[in-house]
Amino acid sequence: MTHQPSNPSEALQDRAGYAIATLEDEIRADRQCAALLKQFHQYLLRELRTEPLEAGALAAGADYFLREFIIGDRRENILEIPAVRIRQFGGHWYIVRNLEPNREELDDMLQGTAAFYRYCAARNLIAETAVEAIAAECGRLDDYIRRIEAFHAISGDGFKNWRNSCPLD
Protein backbone atom coordinates (compact mmCIF):
# COMPACT_ATOMS: atom_id res chain seq x y z
CA MET A 1 0.00 0.00 0.00
CA THR A 2 1.38 3.42 -0.95
CA HIS A 3 1.62 6.31 1.47
CA GLN A 4 -1.36 8.63 1.28
CA PRO A 5 -0.54 12.17 2.43
CA SER A 6 -2.66 13.19 5.42
CA ASN A 7 -3.37 16.77 4.38
CA PRO A 8 -3.86 18.62 1.10
CA SER A 9 -0.68 20.69 1.45
CA GLU A 10 1.39 17.55 2.00
CA ALA A 11 -0.25 15.95 -1.05
CA LEU A 12 0.93 18.83 -3.25
CA GLN A 13 4.51 18.09 -2.23
CA ASP A 14 4.25 14.34 -2.88
CA ARG A 15 6.32 13.72 -6.03
CA ALA A 16 4.40 10.54 -6.82
CA GLY A 17 1.19 12.58 -7.06
CA TYR A 18 2.48 14.10 -10.29
CA ALA A 19 3.37 10.80 -11.98
CA ILE A 20 1.22 10.07 -15.03
CA ALA A 21 0.48 6.60 -16.37
CA THR A 22 -3.31 6.77 -16.87
CA LEU A 23 -5.98 9.33 -17.66
CA GLU A 24 -6.93 9.38 -13.98
CA ASP A 25 -3.30 10.12 -13.10
CA GLU A 26 -3.27 12.98 -15.59
CA ILE A 27 -6.44 14.48 -14.09
CA ARG A 28 -5.03 14.17 -10.56
CA ALA A 29 -1.66 15.64 -11.58
CA ASP A 30 -3.40 18.54 -13.32
CA ARG A 31 -5.52 19.32 -10.24
CA GLN A 32 -2.53 19.09 -7.91
CA CYS A 33 -0.49 21.27 -10.24
CA ALA A 34 -3.24 23.91 -10.29
CA ALA A 35 -3.31 23.91 -6.49
CA LEU A 36 0.50 24.12 -6.30
CA LEU A 37 0.42 27.03 -8.74
CA LYS A 38 -2.05 28.82 -6.45
CA GLN A 39 0.41 28.36 -3.56
CA PHE A 40 3.19 29.66 -5.82
CA HIS A 41 1.09 32.73 -6.66
CA GLN A 42 0.44 33.41 -2.98
CA TYR A 43 4.15 32.98 -2.26
CA LEU A 44 4.97 35.59 -4.89
CA LEU A 45 2.45 38.00 -3.41
CA ARG A 46 3.01 37.47 0.32
CA GLU A 47 6.60 36.35 0.75
CA LEU A 48 8.32 38.02 -2.19
CA ARG A 49 5.93 40.98 -2.25
CA THR A 50 5.68 40.82 -6.01
CA GLU A 51 3.26 43.29 -7.59
CA PRO A 52 -0.09 41.57 -8.23
CA LEU A 53 0.00 41.94 -12.03
CA GLU A 54 3.53 40.56 -12.21
CA ALA A 55 2.71 37.70 -9.83
CA GLY A 56 -0.32 36.84 -11.96
CA ALA A 57 1.73 36.92 -15.17
CA LEU A 58 4.41 34.66 -13.67
CA ALA A 59 1.87 32.16 -12.34
CA ALA A 60 -0.06 32.16 -15.63
CA GLY A 61 3.14 31.65 -17.61
CA ALA A 62 4.17 28.70 -15.46
CA ASP A 63 0.61 27.35 -15.65
CA TYR A 64 0.67 27.20 -19.44
CA PHE A 65 4.04 25.47 -19.56
CA LEU A 66 3.19 22.96 -16.84
CA ARG A 67 -0.43 22.10 -17.49
CA GLU A 68 -0.56 22.37 -21.28
CA PHE A 69 2.89 21.12 -22.24
CA ILE A 70 4.33 18.96 -19.44
CA ILE A 71 1.11 17.37 -18.16
CA GLY A 72 -1.21 17.63 -21.15
CA ASP A 73 1.19 16.97 -24.02
CA ARG A 74 4.26 15.25 -22.57
CA ARG A 75 2.36 13.47 -19.75
CA GLU A 76 5.35 13.82 -17.44
CA ASN A 77 5.86 14.47 -13.76
CA ILE A 78 6.31 18.24 -13.33
CA LEU A 79 8.89 17.66 -10.60
CA GLU A 80 11.08 15.40 -12.71
CA ILE A 81 11.48 17.17 -16.05
CA PRO A 82 14.83 17.42 -17.78
CA ALA A 83 15.93 20.96 -18.69
CA VAL A 84 15.70 20.07 -22.38
CA ARG A 85 11.89 20.26 -22.02
CA ILE A 86 12.25 24.06 -21.76
CA ARG A 87 14.06 24.16 -25.10
CA GLN A 88 11.51 21.84 -26.69
CA PHE A 89 8.72 24.06 -25.40
CA GLY A 90 10.18 27.45 -26.34
CA GLY A 91 11.91 26.35 -29.52
CA HIS A 92 9.24 24.10 -31.00
CA TRP A 93 5.97 23.27 -29.22
CA TYR A 94 4.98 26.83 -28.30
CA ILE A 95 5.74 27.99 -31.84
CA VAL A 96 3.64 25.40 -33.66
CA ARG A 97 0.77 25.47 -31.13
CA ASN A 98 0.09 29.20 -31.17
CA LEU A 99 -1.32 31.34 -33.96
CA GLU A 100 0.97 34.26 -33.19
CA PRO A 101 3.97 33.15 -31.13
CA ASN A 102 5.70 36.25 -29.81
CA ARG A 103 8.48 37.48 -27.56
CA GLU A 104 6.34 39.02 -24.80
CA GLU A 105 4.12 36.01 -24.28
CA LEU A 106 6.98 33.52 -24.43
CA ASP A 107 9.07 35.67 -22.08
CA ASP A 108 6.25 35.63 -19.50
CA MET A 109 6.03 31.85 -19.79
CA LEU A 110 9.76 31.32 -19.43
CA GLN A 111 10.12 33.76 -16.53
CA GLY A 112 7.13 32.19 -14.81
CA THR A 113 8.52 28.70 -15.31
CA ALA A 114 11.94 29.66 -13.93
CA ALA A 115 10.33 31.36 -10.92
CA PHE A 116 8.08 28.35 -10.31
CA TYR A 117 11.01 25.96 -10.24
CA ARG A 118 12.95 28.26 -7.90
CA TYR A 119 9.89 28.10 -5.63
CA CYS A 120 9.92 24.29 -5.88
CA ALA A 121 13.61 24.16 -4.97
CA ALA A 122 13.01 26.42 -1.96
CA ARG A 123 10.40 23.85 -0.84
CA ASN A 124 12.83 20.95 -1.46
CA LEU A 125 10.65 19.55 -4.21
CA ILE A 126 13.48 19.51 -6.76
CA ALA A 127 17.25 19.75 -6.63
CA GLU A 128 18.98 23.10 -6.95
CA THR A 129 21.08 21.75 -9.83
CA ALA A 130 17.88 20.98 -11.76
CA VAL A 131 16.64 24.52 -11.14
CA GLU A 132 19.89 25.99 -12.42
CA ALA A 133 19.66 23.96 -15.63
CA ILE A 134 15.99 24.89 -16.09
CA ALA A 135 16.71 28.58 -15.44
CA ALA A 136 19.55 28.52 -17.97
CA GLU A 137 17.21 27.15 -20.65
CA CYS A 138 14.55 29.70 -19.69
CA GLY A 139 17.15 32.43 -20.21
CA ARG A 140 17.62 31.55 -23.88
CA LEU A 141 14.75 33.77 -25.08
CA ASP A 142 16.73 35.18 -28.01
CA ASP A 143 17.38 31.65 -29.29
CA TYR A 144 13.65 30.88 -29.18
CA ILE A 145 12.83 34.14 -30.94
CA ARG A 146 15.23 33.16 -33.72
CA ARG A 147 13.34 29.86 -33.94
CA ILE A 148 10.05 31.78 -34.30
CA GLU A 149 11.58 33.90 -37.06
CA ALA A 150 12.96 30.82 -38.80
CA PHE A 151 9.53 29.17 -38.54
CA HIS A 152 7.88 32.13 -40.26
CA ALA A 153 10.54 32.04 -42.99
CA ILE A 154 9.99 28.37 -43.86
CA SER A 155 9.34 27.75 -47.51
CA GLY A 156 8.92 24.62 -49.55
CA ASP A 157 9.82 21.51 -47.61
CA GLY A 158 11.86 23.42 -45.01
CA PHE A 159 9.66 22.40 -42.08
CA LYS A 160 11.40 19.06 -41.71
CA ASN A 161 14.80 20.73 -41.24
CA TRP A 162 13.32 23.29 -38.86
CA ARG A 163 11.63 20.56 -36.82
CA ASN A 164 14.74 18.37 -36.74
CA SER A 165 16.91 21.15 -35.35
CA CYS A 166 14.79 21.12 -32.16
CA PRO A 167 12.79 17.87 -32.07
CA LEU A 168 10.14 17.13 -29.45
CA ASP A 169 11.06 13.45 -29.06
Domain presence at residue 65: yes
Give the chain's domain count: 1
Give the separation between CA 113 and CA 144, rounded to whole angstroms.
15
pLDDT, tens digit (0-9, with 9 covering 90-100), for 64-111: 999 999 999 999 999 999 999 999 999 999 999 999 999 999 999 999
pLDDT band at 62 (very low <50, low <70, confident <90, very high): very high
pLDDT, tens digit (0-9, with 9 covering 90-100), for 10-61: 667 788 899 999 999 999 999 999 999 999 999 999 999 999 999 999 999 9
pLDDT, tens digit (0-9, with 9 covering 90-100), for 140-156: 999 999 999 999 999 99
| Domain encompassing residue 17 | 8-164
Domain presence at residue 3: no
Query: Is the pTM of the predicted complex or chain greater than 0.75?
Result: yes
Per-residue pLDDT, 3: 38
Domain presence at residue 1: no
Give the separation between CA 137 and CA 144, rounded to whole angstroms.
10
Which residues are within 8 A (CB) of 113 and not within 5 positions of it... i.e. 6 or more apart? Answer: 61, 62, 65, 66, 86, 134, 138
Domain presence at residue 135: yes
pLDDT, tens digit (0-9, with 9 covering 90-100), for 109-143: 999 999 999 999 999 999 999 999 999 999 999 99
Domain presence at residue 169: no
Domain presence at residue 45: yes
